[in-house]
């Protein structure tokens, strides 16, 4: 095997990533040696280091495994109906975020000590704010100020992120989100009439 040729181990990289995700979630990044990852993935330890030169490279690869977070605004916007648009948007976010709940939680936990993870998660949050801004701008009532659209986007992105990191364990998380969406839609309508 040369430095540039991958070993003939079908699916080894994916098994390593799956093992790392599982073990990091259970024990944390720092408490998980690469030897345990190799054992769980049923590969030699050297193969872990072949694919991931440094252990933090595993975290970077896990960030890339997060599901695509870009949404098509045309699929959620109901022109002139902010509340319906926001409900459809949050439902789309929920579907995307629910597919990676464990991975997202793990990465948020590791963001405190790994700047590259924090940067990647911040970029995802910024994309979410931008998508919300696009949807609200397309659905907002006439006369609604841009500043209100920006505030609504920041608030809703924060609420969605919070719910998926903490409040998803609460019994009334869905109902609370519906109240928040109604509040935002009413506030935008009131701002348009001012």
Q: For each of the chain's 194 residues, which pLDDT tens digit applies?
A: 444 444 556 699 999 999 998 898 888 888 999 999 999 999 999 999 999 999 888 888 887 777 666 788 889 999 889 899 999 998 888 887 776 666 777 777 777 888 877 887 888 889 899 999 999 999 987 888 889 999 999 999 998 888 777 655 556 567 778 888 888 888 888 877 76
- In this structure, the answer to whether residues 108 and 21 fall within a common structural domain is no
Quote the pTM value: 0.74
- In this structure, the answer to whether residues 141 and 171 fall within a common structural domain is yes
- In this structure, the answer to whether residues 173 and 112 fall within a common structural domain is yes
Indicate the number of domains in the chain.
Answer: 2
Confidence (pLDDT) at 104: 72
Q: Is residue 6 a part of any domain in this protein?
A: no
Domain residues for 178? Answer: 73-193
- In this structure, the answer to whether residues 56 and 95 fall within a common structural domain is no
- In this structure, the answer to whether residues 25 and 84 fall within a common structural domain is no
Report whether 26 contacts 18 (CB < 8 A).
no
- In this structure, the answer to whether residues 79 and 161 fall within a common structural domain is yes
- In this structure, the answer to whether residues 94 and 115 fall within a common structural domain is yes
Q: Is residue 2 a part of any domain in this protein?
A: no
- In this structure, the answer to whether residues 78 and 172 fall within a common structural domain is yes
- In this structure, the answer to whether residues 48 and 106 fall within a common structural domain is no
pLDDT in tens, 122-139: 888 898 999 999 999 999
d(CA 25, CA 58) in angstroms, rounded, equals: 13
- In this structure, the answer to whether residues 89 and 179 fall within a common structural domain is yes
Whole-number percent of the chain with pLDDT over 90: 31
- In this structure, the answer to whether residues 42 and 107 fall within a common structural domain is no
Confidence (pLDDT) at 24: 87
Q: Is residue 173 a part of any domain in this protein?
A: yes
User: What CATH number does the domain containing 29 carry?
Assistant: 1.10.10.60
- In this structure, the answer to whether residues 96 and 52 fall within a common structural domain is no
């Amino acid at each position: 095997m040369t430095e540039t040729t991958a070993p003939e181990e079908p699916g080894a990289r994916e098994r390593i990533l799956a093992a790392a995700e599982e073990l990091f979630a259970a024990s944390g990044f720092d408490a998980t040696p690469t030897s345990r990852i190799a054992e769980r993935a049923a590969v030699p330890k050297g193969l872990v280091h072949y694919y991931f030169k440094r252990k933090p490279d595993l975290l970077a690869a896990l960030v890339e495994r997060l599901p695509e977070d870009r949404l098509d605004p045309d699929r959620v916007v109901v022109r002139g109906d902010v509340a319906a648009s926001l409900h459809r948007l949050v439902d789309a976010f929920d579907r995307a975020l629910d597919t990676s709940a464990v991975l997202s939680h793990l990465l948020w936990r590791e963001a405190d000590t790994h700047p590259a993870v924090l940067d990647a998660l911040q970029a995802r949050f910024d994309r979410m704010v931008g998508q919300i801004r696009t949807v609200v701008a397309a659905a907002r009532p006439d006369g609604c100020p841009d500043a209100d659209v920006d505030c609504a986007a920041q608030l809703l992105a924060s609420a969605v992120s919070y719910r998926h990191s903490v409040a998803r364990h609460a019994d009334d998380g869905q109902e609370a989100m519906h109240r928040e969406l109604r509040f935002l839609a009413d506030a935008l309508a009131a701002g348009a009439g001012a």
